[in-house]
Amino acid sequence: MTTEQCGQDQLPIGLFDSGVGGLTVLDAMRRLMPGEDYLFLGDTARVPYGAKSQKTIVRYSLQAAAKLIGQRIKLLVIACNTATAAALPALRETWPDMPIIGVIEPGSRAACEASPSGDIAVIATESTIRSGAYAEAILRRRPEAQVRSLACPLFVPLAEEGWFDGPIAEGVVSRYLEPLFEKSPAPDCLVLGCTHYPMLAAAIRKVVGPEVHIVDSAATTAEVVKRRLADKGLAHPQAGRTGRIRFFITDDPQRFTRTGSLFLNMTITDSDVRLVDLENVPLPDAAETPTQRKSS
């Protein structure tokens, strides 16, 4: 380990999402790596990202990343499919020395491995579907695959409200997914291409049936993070410890505390949550999108 790395292994892992959906990634990571410390940022004031332009999503993502990196973290996870699709290149270019991991590549790899036929459905936000990021990543690994992409924009507000099951959730899920799965041949694999969607997994399973492989990128992302920490010598050195989790929220901490406790199946207290303002976070000069650089 270099002198610069000394002590970095004890820094927290940073994650950000447009709202509370990224807590599914945090949950998978804390179960796999309980000894690590985590700092989660939920941009609850500006959720959802999925209906916004790429330029706006990139700006929001850069602000969130800058806030977390300013707190000293050892690795950054984009716990949001929309932000991963729109902003991963800009984030890596702006902070080239920071290990940055998105959720699309791990999810795509898991789908390619899980689907016997290569007939894969991807459900996500409008922005993620429009980007084609999942289709591109899947076809890069399995060129013969058939990828069916579907935007399900109402899934995010359902999850944010904590309406994970029951007649309302099941009705909305059925309206979106029945046309995709009621005809034969139906996809044999379904990628939940938004970190909010796993909270609706029970309702989704009722619609797609027991034979369809449902891929949640949270678990595979957690495995990638664990390997990256090991490769860079950044895993926390203290064995047997229980890590600390802190939360930054941009709006309504009380609501986040309530809904976040459901997502993580743990009690989040007011002392764990801090309200922050991202609009005034200064960005590095390099924080431009490729489009902006070309036009300048």
The three-state DSSP-derived secondary structure of 62-115 is HHHHHHHHHCCCCEEEECCHHHHHHHHHHHHHHCCCCCEECCHHHHHHHHHHHC
CATH number (domain holding residue 241) = 3.40.50.1860
- For residue 259, being part of any structural domain is answered with yes
> In one letter, which amino acid is 238?
Q
Largest CA distance in the chain: 60
- For residue 295, being part of any structural domain is answered with no
Instruction: Give the helix ranges, DSSP H, for the chain.
Output: 23-32, 54-70, 81-94, 104-114, 126-131, 133-141, 155-161, 167-181, 201-208, 217-231, 253-264, 290-295
- For residue 36, being part of any structural domain is answered with yes
Whether 96 and 117 share a structural domain: no
In 3D, which of 6, 76, 27 has the Cα closest to residue 216? 27
| Catalytic residue list contains 152 | no
Whether 56 and 156 share a structural domain: no
Whether 181 and 226 share a structural domain: no
- CA–CA distances in Å: residue 254 to residues 19, 44, 58: 14, 12, 27
Whether 95 and 241 share a structural domain: yes
- For residue 284, being part of any structural domain is answered with no
Whether 226 and 97 share a structural domain: yes
- For residue 281, being part of any structural domain is answered with no
pLDDT of 239: 83
Whether 128 and 197 share a structural domain: yes
- For residue 50, being part of any structural domain is answered with yes
pLDDT in tens, the chain (296 residues): 443 445 899 999 999 999 999 999 999 999 999 999 999 999 999 998 988 999 999 999 999 999 999 999 999 999 999 999 999 999 999 999 999 999 999 999 999 999 999 999 999 999 999 999 999 999 999 999 999 999 999 999 999 888 988 999 999 999 999 999 988 899 999 999 999 999 999 999 999 999 999 999 898 999 999 999 999 999 999 888 999 999 999 999 998 999 899 889 899 998 999 999 999 888 876 544 443 433 33
Considering its fold, how many domains does the chain have in total?
Answer: 2
Give the sign of the dihedral formed by CA 251, CA 254, CA 259, CA 264.
positive
For residue 71, the enclosing domain spans 8-101+219-275
Q: Are 214 and 103 in contact (CB under 8 A)?
A: no
- For residue 245, being part of any structural domain is answered with yes
* Residues contributing to the annotated binding site for substrate: 17-18, 49-50, 81-82, 195-196
Whether 69 and 207 share a structural domain: no
The residue with tokens 């980007």 is: 131
| Catalytic residue list contains 194 | yes
Q: Are 4 and 27 in contact (CB under 8 A)?
A: no
In 3D, which of 35, 9, 13 has the Cα closest to residue 26? 13
From the list 112, 152, 189, 194, the catalytic residue is 194
* Residues contributing to the annotated binding site: 17-18, 49-50, 81-82, 195-196
Whether 226 and 212 share a structural domain: no
Six token digits for residue 2: 């270099």
Whether 97 and 232 share a structural domain: yes
- For residue 64, being part of any structural domain is answered with yes
Question: Which of 217, 234, 263 is the C-terminal boundary of a domain?
Answer: 217
Q: Are 51 and 153 in contact (CB under 8 A)?
A: yes
From the list 6, 80, 112, 152, the catalytic residue is 80
Q: Are 178 and 172 in contact (CB under 8 A)?
A: no
Whether 38 and 169 share a structural domain: no
pLDDT of 161: 86
Question: Phi, psi (5° rounding) for residue 13?
Answer: -90, 130
The model carries a pTM of 0.87
Whether 147 and 95 share a structural domain: no
Whether 209 and 262 share a structural domain: no
